[in-house]
Amino acid sequence: MANVVVIGAQWGDEGKGKITDLLSRSADVVVRYQGGVNAGHTIVVDDEVLKLHLIPSGILYKDTSCLIGSGTVVDPKILLKEIDMLIENGIDISGLKISSTSHVTMPYHRLLDEAMESDRGSNKIGTTGRGIGPTYADKSQRNGIRIRDLLNEDRLRDVLEIPLKEKNGLLEKIYGIKPLCKDEIIKEYLNYGQRLSMHVVDCTRTIHSAAKNKKNILFEGAQGTLLDLDHGTYPFVTSSNPISGGACIGAGVGPTLIDRVIGVAKAYTTRVGEGPFPTELQGSINDQLCDRGSEFGTTTGRRRRCGWFDGIIGKYAVYVNGLDCLAITKLDVLDELDEIQVCIAYELDGKEIDYFPTNSDDLKKCKPIFKKLKGWQCSTANCRQLSDLPENAMNYLRFLAELMEVPIAIVSLGANRDQTIVIEDPIHGPKRALLR
């Protein structure tokens, strides 16, 4: 049996939803451990496109329990829309569970997020405007609303008093926004609480009960390594910890419970929003990657910035997360290129470096040093095993595995479930008997 963490090894949008969906077949419990509705997973099932923001993609498997953990911030309005969407598609949501101690994104959080981002002007961070940062800020200030608070009117009225007074003052006096009505919020959010009550559980006890009963647990992160609040390209980051260590905090488990960590990376690199991006491309190749890869954000619809694969941030992700193996996604997007480049080092202030500079000002000055590889210029969309791949595609994968010093376990060649090559079972197979 194995308990596994799946993380994004770049700036998010790596295709974790599909990989989590694949691994969920072997999981009894899937735990979303951080982030909020600023994240999004797109799953394609029998040509049906399902977009999820909070509910783990494991919900598509009838016998899999899906838990939204304590480290996640929950917008109940959007969560209920997801639940209704799944029900309309005939998907059983009885296995959905929500931690009673997850913090709630309130209407003032969204208003403040939008107002603060607008006020930054040219210094904007590139937030989704979904209220995630302000929700986590209230959590840190011990001023937040939790899921359990939505289950009792007296409690909600009591815990809402101080934060609403404070936020209304900010909205009205600083941003010129009409203050919110307490009674209206209470009525709306009590209704959400009533609808969600059947799914609310003690997160830590639920997970440890599963572990005690030898269940396979899959911990699912949102966003990616380079968006980590502490270890990413600060301040152009998210407000939580997507790295593998965040799973222990957000789910309420000790590190000894984790058996292995799987990183997901695209065969190239993308990022959404602001911030330095050394391998970013401009012009026709950027457009080609964006169009072939459908590089538009699941949550915001924003066009993603595209660039060549960055081996420096890849190696950084390997040791920050303790990766055991990799899943490489969207290899097929590179099919038409005659030449592919991979960043193997940076030039910073005239000197070559092979490490990731954690100072964003330094990263902004970094110039990528590339290794050129031959493309394969034929379709890989129908490849289902390694022997089906063209030789240059295999050479490319081997180069990535060697560069990052971690084996590749899965290769994804399209959005559909069956467009996947599983080289070795990444959960139960030998840790190092994979492509490298």
Residues classed as catalytic: 13, 41
* Cβ–Cβ < 8 Å for 384, 392: no
Q: What single DSSP character describes residue 95?
A: T
Q: How many Cα atoms are found within 13 Å in the side-chain-facing hemisphere of 242?
A: 33
Sign of CA dihedral 215, 409, 11, 270: negative
Token pair in block for residue 405: 């010093």
Q: Which residues fall within 8 angstroms of residue 227, CB to CB, at 6 or more apart?
A: 8, 11, 12, 233, 236, 237, 238, 242
